[in-house]
């Protein structure tokens, strides 16, 4: 097995259990703008990018969103997140195991730095990470590999010695394009549209964070 020098985590749906609430907010907001979607449709076609990317896809499919839609949606999203969201069960135990093994870890998310400051900062987690980087902030969101390459550099690790933990096809594509191994976290099992899209890339899935240290060889 290739030596493990760093582990790189997505944020929403991998560290912070915020995705279902966020998806529901998207669905409610888009329906109010005359663009109804089911949860399955949203998961299949719209996740893994940025809020701006969601707006672009909706407009490309005939949706009529105002020019400031993304800006206004961020306000609603951040207000919701400030109410508090739980961590993914078992993820802090994974961090503890990595600390014990002396392996650095970082976060690479398409979400904004402000969003991660709300979700991770409120939990006091930010000091644990070697870096917390945003694809929006660097101008190269997933599925481009740049974000995870920057995370690896922050950890002082070569890409081939990194493992990425993702829950979206866009994120998994970014990891693979960066030359990194990837595991797909499928909290709700392998049969959701998101999990199927990740598995279709040849990325192995797991559904319990407690199992991740074993997958990493810790």
Least confident of 24-38, 45-59, 110-124, 161-175: 45-59
Mean pLDDT of 190-196: 91
Q: What is the pLDDT of residue 193?
A: 87
pLDDT in tens, 76-128: 888 888 888 899 999 999 999 999 999 999 999 998 899 899 999 888 999 99
Q: What is the pLDDT of residue 175?
A: 98
pTM, entire model? 0.85
Specify the DSSP class assigned to residue 143: T
43: confidence class by pLDDT, cuts 50, 70, 90: confident
State the catalytic residues: 10, 12
| CB within 8 Å of 139: residues ≥ 6 apart | none
Domains and CATH numbers, the chain: 6-17+86-215 (3.40.50.1000), 19-81 (1.10.150)
Mean pLDDT of 34-40: 89
DSSP string, 84-118: --PBPTTHHHHHHHHHHHT--EEEEESS-HHHHHH
Mean pLDDT of 3-25: 91
19: confidence class by pLDDT, cuts 50, 70, 90: confident
How many angstroms separate the CA atoms of 71 and 177, rounded? 30
Whether residue 23 has pLDDT greater than 70: yes
Whether residue 48 has pLDDT greater than 80: no
How many angstroms separate the CA atoms of 56 and 50, rounded? 10
Mean pLDDT of 23-47: 88
Mean pLDDT of 26-41: 90
């Amino acid at each position: 097995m290739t030596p493990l020098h760093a582990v790189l985590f997505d944020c929403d749906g991998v560290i912070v259990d915020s995705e279902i609430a966020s998806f529901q907010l998207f669905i409610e907001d888009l329906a109010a703008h005359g663009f109804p979607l089911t949860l399955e449709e949203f998961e299949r076609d719209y996740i893994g990018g940025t809020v701006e990317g969601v707006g672009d896809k909706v407009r490309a499919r005939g949706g009529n969103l105002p020019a400031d839609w993304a800006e206004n949606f961020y306000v609603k999203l951040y207000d919701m997140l400030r109410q508090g969201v739980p961590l993914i069960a078992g993820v802090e135990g994974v961090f503890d195991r990595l600390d014990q093994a002396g392996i650095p870890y970082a976060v690479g998310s398409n979400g904004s730095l402000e969003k991660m400051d709300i979700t991770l900062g409120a939990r006091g987690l930010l000091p644990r990470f070697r870096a917390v980087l945003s694809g929006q902030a660097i101008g190269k969101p997933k599925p481009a590999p740049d974000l995870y390459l920057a995370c690896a550099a922050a950890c002082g690790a070569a890409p081939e010695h990194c493992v990425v933990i993702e829950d979206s096809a866009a994120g998994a594509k970014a990891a693979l394009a960066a030359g990194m191994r990837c595991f797909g976290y499928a909290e709700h099992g392998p049969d959701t549209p998101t999990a199927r899209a990740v598995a279709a890339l040849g990325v192995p899935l797991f559904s319990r964070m407690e199992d991740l240290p074993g997958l990493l060889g810790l």
